[in-house]
Structure 1
Amino acid sequence: MPLRAARPLFMRLESEGIAVPKLLDELGISLDDVVAPSGTCSSSTYFELWRRGLALSRDPALPLHVAEMADLRSIGSFAFETEYLAVQLFAQSETLGQGLDRLCRYLPLGHPVTRLTMIDKGDVVTVRNETIGTVEPVHAVGMWVTSLIVQGVRSLPKKPVAPLEVRFAGPSQAAAEYSNRFGSRVRFNAGEDAIDLKRADLAVPLVTSRPSLALVLERRAEAQKQTADTFINDVKAIIRDDLETGPSAERTAARLKVSLRTLNRRLDRHGASHRALLDEVRMSLAAHHLSRSDVAVAEVALLLGFSETSAFHRAFKRWSGKSPTEYRRGTTS
């Protein structure tokens, strides 16, 4: 996880007089790593930074104010590549829609625990933000990313644009301040972090547009994305090969000819883990096998590397919310 993603949080905490160096030291992070463009930490450490920051802060709207630490117009004005490539591409696009599309595609390069999707609902387009990489939700991370997007929607277009609605998965905090800042309805405990926009607003041009530079930066971003995708696909392929004999992170690292530490670090950089990819591969193959009535559930469990059918049942229930038999009934009926 790039540590630069946490810099706005550090800046906000420092503005409250909170001793950020002490916080970093407690988590084993050096100031040099925070300053260095290549400084990283694990996803779990990143989420812990947010948890501790929330505990130390007296600000009930901390995610909103962390988002406001970023000057998107200034980032959009740079004539060179910055560390915040996805945000820069957002700001330097020709229209709001093009900028949001680029942000969805490339934000995981710099903030790999976030997945953004644009959902077409006719006259309304929803930008949905999903935080991944943690079992215990840290709602503030999703609120921060969502608030940053709303800031771009409000500050970058050449004419006023406001979301139709902003939804947060987390509980209500300083609701009136969020609503006033966003100029729209805000709902908390909504089950998702998302923004609804009028489709017509996606065509509004941006004041920070630099089309020629954005094309150059997009080629660089696409190259980085393909490198990440290739590595993840290589790991998945090894996991598939090893399913019946017993996949493990150690075996995957050996086949890639890297140390276990290097494997975990590279996966973490892309917001992934060996366990999460193993679950993803197993879930995909399980769905495929269960769609065939000629493969018994016990056989599917063995094909996926489960030593006991009961363990497969528990895992599949966790993945899909259904038992294997219930899932099969729904796909073969």
Structure 2
Amino acid sequence: MHQTIVEQPPRGVVPSTYVRLLYEYLEKRGVAAAALLGVAAPEAADRGSLRYPVAAWRALLQRAAEHLHDPLLGLHLGQTITPAHFGVMGYVLLACPNLGAALARTLQYQRLLYDVNPMRSSVEGSELLLEWGVDQGRPGALVDECAITALLQLTHNATGRRIVATEIRFVNPAPADIQPYRDWFGCPVLFDQPETSIRFPQALLALPLRQPDTVLLNVLERQADDLLAQLPPSDDFEQAVRRCIARLVREGQPELELVANELHVSARTLHRRLAAAGINFRELRESIRQRLAEDYLADPRLQLAEIAQLLGYSEQSAFTRAFRRWSGQAPYAYRLSLLNPTAG
């Protein structure tokens, strides 16, 4: 007798402003969205504070795809996204000076944008890798394809140019025809992968955005912080540790005991929970510092001494030594390679 394995429903939520995208898409095609989906559209006045379980979002997408006879709905829907569909956070991203700064805010406020499987970023050679695991479950092809397409569409909206990835991977099974994916993304697209990911040239982080506004950015970030504080606690302990380290790093070298105190757990509990996830605290701290350094170096307005201070170094020379250890390059040389990738 064969044992039936039932996959657990995915955990996580998406903001109502994002869900509204589907209702608008259906209405433009002459479909009474609320009648078809059986749920009223999110109120236009809601700024994203209402959250939809990702399992419910998947069900809405499946119902719409069946009605439209469109298995590529995720791909098509994501292309219609605008910053307004992410509420305050959409405008936070638009007000950033460059793509690197927008990515840093995406990581910082990702629970407001898309609170499902958390996004991780890393640098591999001259490429930036964005990854999403399956710790919170597998939302499915329609959900994942809409999210990845929407993310790339947002970069187009913000920069005014089409961003082409080097490679895209999905955890979901391959569709019968993968050509439409290659046609729209413009790069190799792989399926049945361990993680969903986007890989693209790191030099793109220096691309300026179309509407940078430092004053507006500060105002919007305060609003985003207020919205983030209103969210229920996340069960993603690693993400909480990462955010805590990123916040404390400018004050110096955040030790494990200090981070544990900020998270209201004992140092032993923090060490044990990180170890259970295969994470070394010191390595995590260094990787966060490196990512922040790379984000800051992508902003030409910041002096190296200012970046050293933002990262908690008392002297610029200490920052230079650390950055050489991380990347094999001096910070100034790294910045030059970002701002002028064709040099040399």
Q: What's the TM-score once normalised by structure 2's chain length?
A: 0.56
1:146, distance to aligned residue in structure 2 (A): 0.9
- Structure-2 residue corresponding to 1:55: 66
Counterparts of 1:48 and 1:110, CA distance in 2 = 19
Structure 1 segment 94-243 matched on structure 2, within 5 A? 94-130=97-133, 133=136, 135=137, 137-157=139-159, 161-173=163-175, 175-228=178-231, 231-232=233-234
**1:114·1:132 contact (CA, 8 Å) conserved in 2?**
yes
User: Structure 1 residue 3 and structure 2 residue 16: aligned?
Assistant: yes
1:30 paired residue among 40, 51, 68? 40
RMSD: 3.4
- Structure-1 residue corresponding to 2:304: none
1:110, distance to aligned residue in structure 2 (A): 4.1
Counterparts of 1:161 and 1:94, CA distance in 2 = 17
1:284 paired residue among 244, 253, 273? 273
Identity of aligned residues (%): 24
1:200, distance to aligned residue in structure 2 (A): 1.2
Q: 1:12 to 1:99 in 2, by over 3 A?
A: same
Per-residue deviation, residues 94-113 of structure 1 (Å, max 9, x unmatched)? 11111112122213214322
Q: 1:286 to 1:208 in 2, by over 3 A?
A: closer
Per-residue deviation, residues 179-229 of structure 1 (Å, max 9, x unmatched)? 222232222223322111111111111123223212221222233334537
SS of equivalent residue, structure 2 residue 120:
strand
Counterparts of 2:86 and 2:202, CA distance in 1 = 30
Q: What's the TM-score once normalised by structure 1's chain length?
A: 0.58
1:40, distance to aligned residue in structure 2 (A): 4.4
Q: 1:68 to 1:226 in 2, by over 3 A?
A: same
Per-residue deviation, residues 242-284 of structure 1 (Å, max 9, x unmatched)? xxxxxxxxxxxxxxxxxxxxxxxxxxxxxxxxxxxxxxx9x93
- Structure-2 residue corresponding to 1:257: none
Counting helix residues as a fraction of each chain, which structure ranks higher?
1
Aligned partner of 2:18: which letter? A
Counterparts of 1:136 and 1:23, CA distance in 2 = 25
139-148 or 56-65, which moves further after superposition? 56-65
Q: Which entry has the higher C-alpha Rg, 1 or 2?
A: 1
Aligned partner of 1:99: which letter? A
**1:51·1:138 contact (CA, 8 Å) conserved in 2?**
no
Q: 1:171 to 1:43 in 2, by over 3 A?
A: closer
1:8, distance to aligned residue in structure 2 (A): 1.3
1:66, distance to aligned residue in structure 2 (A): 1.0
1:118, distance to aligned residue in structure 2 (A): 1.3
Aligned partner of 2:33: which letter? V
Q: 1:64 to 1:92 in 2, by over 3 A?
A: farther
Counterparts of 2:165 and 2:146, CA distance in 1 = 16
1:16, distance to aligned residue in structure 2 (A): 4.1
SS of equivalent residue, structure 1 residue 156:
helix
1:141, distance to aligned residue in structure 2 (A): 1.2
**1:165·1:185 contact (CA, 8 Å) conserved in 2?**
yes
Per-residue deviation, residues 30-58 of structure 1 (Å, max 9, x unmatched)? 34x44451544444322322232233232
Aligned partner of 1:54: which letter? A
**1:163·1:196 contact (CA, 8 Å) conserved in 2?**
yes
SS of equivalent residue, structure 1 residue 218:
helix
Counterparts of 1:204 and 1:41, CA distance in 2 = 33
**2:96·2:212 contact (CA, 8 Å) conserved in 1?**
yes
SS of equivalent residue, structure 2 residue 224:
helix
User: Structure 1 residue 21 and structure 2 residue 23: aligned?
Assistant: no
Counterparts of 1:36 and 1:61, CA distance in 2 = 30
**2:120·2:131 contact (CA, 8 Å) conserved in 1?**
yes
SS of equivalent residue, structure 2 residue 149:
helix
Count of aligned pairs between the two proteins: 229
Q: 1:105 to 1:56 in 2, by over 3 A?
A: farther
